[in-house]
Structure 1
Amino acid sequence: MSEPKYRIADILRQKEGQYELTIFHPDAIARLEGQLFEKRGQPYLKCLASGRDRRAYPEEIVRQLYIKKLMDDYGYPKERIQVEKPVFFGSGVGKKRADIVITHADDPDAAYIIVEVKKPKRKDGIEQLKSYCNAEGSPIGVWTNGGEVVVMHRVDPNLYRALTDIPNVHQTLEAISAERVTLAQLTEIDKLVTERLSLKDVILDLENLVLANAGVDAFEEVFKLIYAKLYDEWRAARPGNPYLQFRVLDDQDEQAFYNRINGLFNQAKRQWPGVFLPGEKIDLTPGHLATCVSFLQDIKLFNSNLQVIDEAFEYLMTKVGKGKKGQYFTPRHVIDMAVKMLNPKIDEYVIDPAAGSCGFTVHAIFWVWGEQLNANGPKQWQREYASTHAYGLDFDARAVKIARAINLIAGDGRTNVYRANTLAPYLWDDIARVGLRERLRRFPDYERDLWNQEHYRYFDFDVVMTNPPFAGDISERRILNQYELARRGRDRVAAKQGRDILFIERSLEFLRPGGRMAIVLPQGRFNNITDAYVREFITRKCRILAVVGLDVNTFKPHTGTKTSVLFVQKWNDDPEAGPLCPRVDDYPIFFATSRKSGKDNSGNYIYKTDAQGNRLLDEHGHLIVDHDLDEIATAFVLFAKEQGFSFWKDDDRPF
């Protein structure tokens, strides 16, 4: 068999990254490739609907494959499929033409389904599709770029709902809207896997379609819906409740639908208490709620590392100004590197004193578990570890809300995340003080021990991992007076000090002797002449294990600040006090610089792709960020074993 002259993969490269073919069967792609022919020195194909010769542009490839799908998978006859159909806008026919139109069975002039393929960007494509559906009165619209698909039901010109799929030639719109789904079926249709989507993509859809004009707090409402959906998946994984309730079903009126979804939210609050107030309810109108649920219902949130959820909240939190305080969500591949390098163990206590959404502690939990979260919930020993050994502190109310929710779910009902100003323990409320009392370090000296019990300064955590806020200074005297680093190497306290510098000292106070820490810091702290006293303080208190320089894109789009991750272990010569880390004057340090950040210059994630440019998924169905931090972590583990570091010396965990 001769090789085809034209290859579809080469044609798609004309618009690199804009079109994929993952929603189509490889056999259909191969057949279409075999039908390409040359005309006027360019690749052409014969339209499956009209029979006309068409230039094989990337978007035409997608269109023909979708027409083939309509005919073979959904049973629509060629006679009902039109291409380049003029769109009628009110007073006359506009200049726009719909890419594919399926007409009504009994009215060849009326649009039943409109398909848009020529706008490869999701937002632009959906807007174009809405305008066509509104103009033609089509009840169903489809946008696709060959990798992602959005199917929408036009309820009225200003209200659209997502559909799981389009009806086949024998189905009605009402029939597919009323279909019930089990958790196993949701796993099969999960759009995060089948379309390589992120939850952030879906949140953006909701913003454009509903939330921007709904008159509600988008963060709060999305949070409530995710909480309710997580509970629904958790509930459906248990015996006796096979069908998911978090769906739009056309067998109920609007109020009954609202009551069902709000009821799930109330049940979630009872199962995982302490995140929402008892009287809180979903504030979306039933119509807007139906649109939101329809776009979320075909996404599976459990059986993941919760990055799915965290990316969505990172986007929402940024919109309400978290970045203005110098606080930035830590990319999950940076967290995974730190967790792997520090290797927390089942009997060790972990804390993040600037927790944000608790990415460090949650991933430490998964590392100890040896597996990720699923809807069946953790095993008993996993639940006990998550609920007793992982702690977090943060002052931002919304960050704490996210962190508590994620930790409650991982710990199956219990959390050790507290809202508190880490730098000012004298301001902590009774909830934080009671929750952290057991982790206070005890001293043989009675007076010192009593002072610590009252002032909450020194703790006995084994591992600290944190990304403290590194914008702004602290000038409050009562806070500054607590810290040696507030003196800047002089005899008196300075008028102000960088927040991240104070966090270095405070974070070390959480560590027991021999404990270890990973902390993200601005690059300047490692080489500024004026910060020499900071480096002297660190080397006096700790052994420097490693410094990993992160790429400048790592924290974009929030900041372009160059950062590094510092890994240290507190000096300790007393085996009774903690893991041994004998003080030495000269020792090797692991240095590495990341050359592949996993983000582009705009701060968008870069994902690994196959030879055809299709995004790859890992064994959990997650998109794979294209970075080099795994390799750096593996190199450090080899270094740690060679050096005999206490936390890797006897560990045979595969890495």
Structure 2
Amino acid sequence: MRDGYIKDYISGEEIKATPEEVEAVQVFSEILVEDYGYPKEQLQTRPQWRVKVRPSDTKKEYPIDIGVFDCNKKTDDSLFIVVECKRKTRKDGLAQLKNYLTFSTARLGVWFNGEERLYIKKTEKSGKVLFSEIPNIPRNGERIEDIGRFKRKDLTVPHNLKVVFKAIRNHLAGNTVGATRDEVLAQQLINIIFCKIYDERFTKQEEMVEFRAGVDESDKLISKRIKVIFKKVQTKYKEVIDFSDKISLDDKSVVYIVGELQNYCLTGSERDVVADAFETFIGYALKGGQGQFFTPRNIVQLMVEIIKPQPDQLIIDPACGSGGFLVESLKYMWGELESQSKEYGWSDLALQEEKMAAAIHNIRGIEKDEFLSKVSKAYMAIIGDGKGGIFCEDSLEVPKNWKDKTQQSIELSKFDVLLTNPPFGKDIKVVGESKLAQYDLASKWKKEGGLYKKTDKKNTEMRPEVLFIERSLQLLKDGGVMGIVLPETFFHAPRARPVMQFMEGHNIKWVIDLPHNTFRPHNNAKCIIIVIQKNTKQSKNINFAVAEEMGHDHQGKEIYRWDPVTQKVDKEQTWDDIKLIIEENRNRKKKYIFSVDSKSVKDRNIFVPRYYWETRDKEVEEIAKVKKLKLISIKQLIDEGVIQHFDGHGSPPAEYKGRGDISYIRVKDIVNWEVYKDPTSSIPENIYKNMKGENKNLNVGDILYVRRGSYRIGSVAMVSPHDTNVLLTREILVLRVVENNKYGLTPHYLLYLLSHRLVAMQAFNKVLIETTLPNIANRWQELKLPLFIDKNMAETVTTQIEEVINAKWSAIEKPHKVKDVHGELVT
């Protein structure tokens, strides 16, 4: 597949990957096949079917995005539905769609832009063409008048509810009368979802569902029918829906939601699909102001697969959010019960009783946010009857201050399994003397020798994720297992050492390195999963796992697998290493999973798995072997006296920036092997001399290496004759090559080597994240430079790099001459 192209879902042809194709045409093509049951033989995308612009248009000038035909023989007369995906606004899209329908025989139209969709029906009356919006389109084999006339057995399992929920949200946001805030719309959606679930559960297979919207029914009639169901829901799910709650959406909005959902069986769908779709909608309402971010479904599944909760174990999530960990744990437990049922020959009734008992008695969740606790109860109602185990409380509060019902169900030292992703963020603080008094980690810690010891002094405020570590361990019984998602900072940063030391007091069973994109675009924190067994002796080895990617990029868009050997992207395969780790945990073949001696890890005080990941190192070695390169560490070159180094000078006081003639060089100024001088940051000469000191003079040919800063680590530049009198930030390292060394290493050769892809690949293991900022610290010395075995090749490359640098310096020299002759230049 060529770059910038994808395979068309219907025709199989290679087509350009335009936003319209990727986000709309291909998505809806798959929906037509998977959800509506139309065979590909009745659909046309490539070549595009064409319709008339006017009655006299014999050339058929309008190409349509998707044509749906009522039989395999594609003719003008058999064109049934026109789907328009190109126009991005509802108004333009609707106008275009009406034009397509006016001069074609198609009776129905769909407008879909990847975010929102609508359906219209064409009626010809008294020589006029009239259009009306309808709730949906018929499935394959159905008539238009059959829309919404479903028996319970006719409902189908959806394949992509995320698209449906996104369309609902965007339609409501743009069209609902009287309610536009995301949270209000989300609450209304929850109410209507419960109507749908109720109707599915309590309608017999041969009976017509009440949750429906027909083509010829009035909006008022449909809305009234849904509100009658809601009254029943309030009685059935009184723990979730208050009697003061109501469906307050206007009738037209209710009809839109019902029309989008009526075809589907939510209770029979993949549970993670329902959860994922739910979170797609709720995500608009949850902005993370309190550090709350949904845990991606594949991460939840991984943690459950690692811990393997059993049907006889008591499970809790003290920051349960929307209930993802609880739902996935219950699914896993039910799977175990199904295996037991087969082994012991239980009846279907006995199995269902065991499943229900597990949902009611074994699942507990605490959520501080009332809205989210309601969502969590909704999830538990979708999958079982565990909704009564969810409590709206502050998990970090003194337990005796919880409501009586909560205290009866949740006690410290009671739980076998705990799974959680606690809220975190630098601006979120926990305060209160009595609250903080419960936690050792809220104390001030003092370093004595190589360890930290707790003092009698308490902090006045703490970050919630720190306290959640201790509260989670308090909730577990001895031998209980905790899986928790935490910022990477805790696993290596010296300032977070007391927290890691606290966790080391228990058995660290697993540490799993999550991709930086895991919580993006909502949160930029780089996180790690740690699995701990309470008050148990540390096992000899710690299980580690590394996921490079988990399905989406920093913008939340799907990402495809990259092959480092072929240097190509496989657009047929989503890059999700989480699935591979789950598979590896079930079998013996290991690439992403490995174990490391626990004493070795503790001695280094680095618990970040990728630092120990040999798979990446082996990839580098294999490529080096093929390319005939010899890998030598920078540390070896330092020890042998080939390379000297020193840190940058430091940062001048802010009030002096822009007040002098000496350039202050920051991380962002190391660009394209050059040093950029920002005149707004120049400082006075006396400040420069005071900060530079006597032993940190720069020489022409020195290499500047960025070792700290977002996305900049590894950037290099060579000091030119115009750069020797500059002040460097401490994040920039200075490397100096000693002449006439046995490796034939020169400044130009070193510049090339540090810029090499193999060095960048190694940096993945060495660069660790402190909250959101990457830092390689002194681990840059562990990087191995890929020197050419063939000395002639090394000399050739050195000469080429030298020519490039000389050309750059020559270009820089010309503005300096203009400046010398004609006066000061500031840019």
Deviations 1:336-367 (A, max 9, x none): 00000001111111100111111111111100
What's 2:189 paired with?
A: 222
Three-state SS of the structure 2 residue aligned to 1:335 is helix
What's 1:326 paired with?
A: 291
Matched, 1:17 2:22: yes
What's 1:94 paired with?
A: none
Deviations 1:181-208 (A, max 9, x none): 1233221xx5x32x77534323334335
Q: Is the 8 A contact 2:172 2:253 kept in 1?
A: no
Larger radius of gyration: 2
Cα distance change of structure 1 residues 272 and 563 upon mapping to structure 2, 3 Å threshold: same
Aligned 1:170-569 pairs, distance under 5 A? 175-177=145-147, 179-187=148-156, 192-193=158-159, 198-211=163-176, 214=179, 217-236=184-203, 238=204, 242-249=207-214, 252-370=217-335, 379-412=352-385, 415-424=388-397, 425-436=399-410, 440=411, 458-471=412-425, 472-489=428-445, 490-491=454-455, 492-540=457-505, 542-569=506-533
Provide the C-alpha distance between the structure 1 equivalents of 2:255 and 2:83, rounded to a whole number of angstroms: 23
Cα distance change of structure 1 residues 593 and 115 upon mapping to structure 2, 3 Å threshold: closer
How much has 1:507 moved relative to structure 2?
A: 0.2
- 2:544 aligned to which of 591, 612, 615: 591
Provide the C-alpha distance between the structure 2 equivalents of 1:215 and 1:31, rounded to a whole number of angstroms: 37
Three-state SS of the structure 2 residue aligned to 1:345 is coil
Q: Is the 8 A contact 1:544 1:568 kept in 2?
A: yes
- 1:162 aligned to which of 130, 135, 147: 135
Matched, 1:627 2:579: no
Provide the C-alpha distance between the structure 2 equivalents of 1:27 and 1:319, rounded to a whole number of angstroms: 34
How much has 1:219 moved relative to structure 2?
A: 1.4
Q: Is the 8 A contact 2:164 2:260 kept in 1?
A: no
Cα distance change of structure 1 residues 337 and 51 upon mapping to structure 2, 3 Å threshold: farther
Provide the C-alpha distance between the structure 2 equivalents of 1:274 and 1:339, rounded to a whole number of angstroms: 27
Cα distance change of structure 1 residues 531 and 550 upon mapping to structure 2, 3 Å threshold: same
Provide the C-alpha distance between the structure 2 equivalents of 1:333 and 1:526, rounded to a whole number of angstroms: 22
Compute the RMSD of aligned alpha carbons. 4.2
The residue type equivalent to 1:385 in the other structure is: A
How much has 1:223 moved relative to structure 2?
A: 0.8
Cα distance change of structure 1 residues 371 and 253 upon mapping to structure 2, 3 Å threshold: farther
The residue type equivalent to 1:571 in the other structure is: N
The residue type equivalent to 1:480 in the other structure is: L
Provide the C-alpha distance between the structure 2 equivalents of 1:607 and 1:366, rounded to a whole number of angstroms: 29
How much has 1:368 moved relative to structure 2?
A: 1.0
Q: When the two structures are superposed, what TM-score results if normalisation uses the length of structure 2?
A: 0.57
Q: When the two structures are superposed, what TM-score results if normalisation uses the length of structure 1?
A: 0.70
Provide the C-alpha distance between the structure 2 equivalents of 1:266 and 1:212, rounded to a whole number of angstroms: 23
What's 2:640 paired with?
A: none
How much has 1:250 moved relative to structure 2?
A: 5.1
What's 1:443 paired with?
A: none
Provide the C-alpha distance between the structure 2 equivalents of 1:422 and 1:203, rounded to a whole number of angstroms: 33
How much has 1:273 moved relative to structure 2?
A: 2.3
Q: Is the 8 A contact 2:50 2:60 kept in 1?
A: yes
Q: Is the 8 A contact 2:368 2:394 kept in 1?
A: yes
Provide the C-alpha distance between the structure 1 equivalents of 2:541 and 2:121, rounded to a whole number of angstroms: 63
Cα distance change of structure 1 residues 290 and 153 upon mapping to structure 2, 3 Å threshold: farther
Provide the C-alpha distance between the structure 1 equivalents of 2:279 and 2:255, rounded to a whole number of angstroms: 24
How much has 1:220 moved relative to structure 2?
A: 1.5
Q: Is the 8 A contact 1:230 1:301 kept in 2?
A: yes
Provide the C-alpha distance between the structure 2 equivalents of 1:277 and 1:322, rounded to a whole number of angstroms: 25
How much has 1:642 moved relative to structure 2?
A: 10
Provide the C-alpha distance between the structure 1 equivalents of 2:478 and 2:178, rounded to a whole number of angstroms: 54
Q: Which moved more, 1:458-467 or 1:11-20?
A: 11-20
What's 1:72 paired with?
A: 71
How much has 1:301 moved relative to structure 2?
A: 1.4
Aligned 1:54-203 pairs, distance under 5 A? 63=65, 66=67, 69-70=68-69, 72=71, 78=76, 115-119=83-87, 124=88, 126-132=90-96, 140-143=108-111, 151-152=119-120, 160-165=133-138, 175-177=145-147, 179-187=148-156, 192-193=158-159, 198-203=163-168
The residue type equivalent to 1:401 in the other structure is: K
Three-state SS of the structure 2 residue aligned to 1:380 is helix
Deviations 1:229-259 (A, max 9, x none): 11111123x46x6221111135655443322
Three-state SS of the structure 2 residue aligned to 1:407 is helix
Cα distance change of structure 1 residues 642 and 347 upon mapping to structure 2, 3 Å threshold: farther
What's 1:88 paired with?
A: none
Q: Is the 8 A contact 2:365 2:391 kept in 1?
A: yes
How much has 1:590 moved relative to structure 2?
A: 1.4
Provide the C-alpha distance between the structure 2 equivalents of 1:32 and 1:158, rounded to a whole number of angstroms: 24
Three-state SS of the structure 2 residue aligned to 1:203 is helix
How much has 1:76 moved relative to structure 2?
A: 9.4
Deviations 1:560-613 (A, max 9, x none): 1100001111134xxxxxxxxxx24x72111222112111221245599xxxx9
What's 2:692 paired with?
A: none
Q: Is the 8 A contact 2:414 2:477 kept in 1?
A: yes
> Using CA pairs below 8 Å that are at least 6 residues apart, which structure has the higher relative contact order?
1
Cα distance change of structure 1 residues 11 and 126 upon mapping to structure 2, 3 Å threshold: farther
Cα distance change of structure 1 residues 349 and 305 upon mapping to structure 2, 3 Å threshold: farther
Provide the C-alpha distance between the structure 2 equivalents of 1:323 and 1:409, rounded to a whole number of angstroms: 25
- List runs of 5+ in structure 1 lacking aligned partners: 1-5, 34-43, 82-101, 103-112, 441-457, 573-582, 617-624, 644-655
- List runs of 5+ in structure 2 lacking aligned partners: 1-6, 124-129, 339-347, 446-453, 562-569, 597-827
Cα distance change of structure 1 residues 387 and 604 upon mapping to structure 2, 3 Å threshold: farther
Three-state SS of the structure 1 residue aligned to 2:545 is strand
Deviations 1:506-552 (A, max 9, x none): 00001111111100000111111111111111111x11111111111
How much has 1:479 moved relative to structure 2?
A: 1.1
The residue type equivalent to 1:546 in the other structure is: W
What's 2:693 paired with?
A: none
Provide the C-alpha distance between the structure 1 equivalents of 2:521 and 2:51, rounded to a whole number of angstroms: 44
Cα distance change of structure 1 residues 185 and 303 upon mapping to structure 2, 3 Å threshold: same
Cα distance change of structure 1 residues 125 and 227 upon mapping to structure 2, 3 Å threshold: same
Three-state SS of the structure 2 residue aligned to 1:276 is coil
The residue type equivalent to 2:402 in the other structure is: W
Provide the C-alpha distance between the structure 1 equivalents of 2:516 and 2:480, rounded to a whole number of angstroms: 29
Q: Is the 8 A contact 1:148 1:197 kept in 2?
A: no
Provide the C-alpha distance between the structure 2 equivalents of 1:594 and 1:10, rounded to a whole number of angstroms: 33
Q: Which moved more, 1:20-29 or 1:225-234?
A: 20-29
Corresponding residue pairs, total: 529
How much has 1:334 moved relative to structure 2?
A: 0.4
How much has 1:300 moved relative to structure 2?
A: 2.7
What's 1:455 paired with?
A: none
Cα distance change of structure 1 residues 136 and 196 upon mapping to structure 2, 3 Å threshold: same
Cα distance change of structure 1 residues 396 and 231 upon mapping to structure 2, 3 Å threshold: same
Cα distance change of structure 1 residues 296 and 310 upon mapping to structure 2, 3 Å threshold: same
Q: Is the 8 A contact 1:199 1:308 kept in 2?
A: no
How much has 1:299 moved relative to structure 2?
A: 3.1
Q: Is the 8 A contact 2:320 2:367 kept in 1?
A: yes
Cα distance change of structure 1 residues 133 and 509 upon mapping to structure 2, 3 Å threshold: same
The residue type equivalent to 2:119 in the other structure is: V
What's 1:648 paired with?
A: none
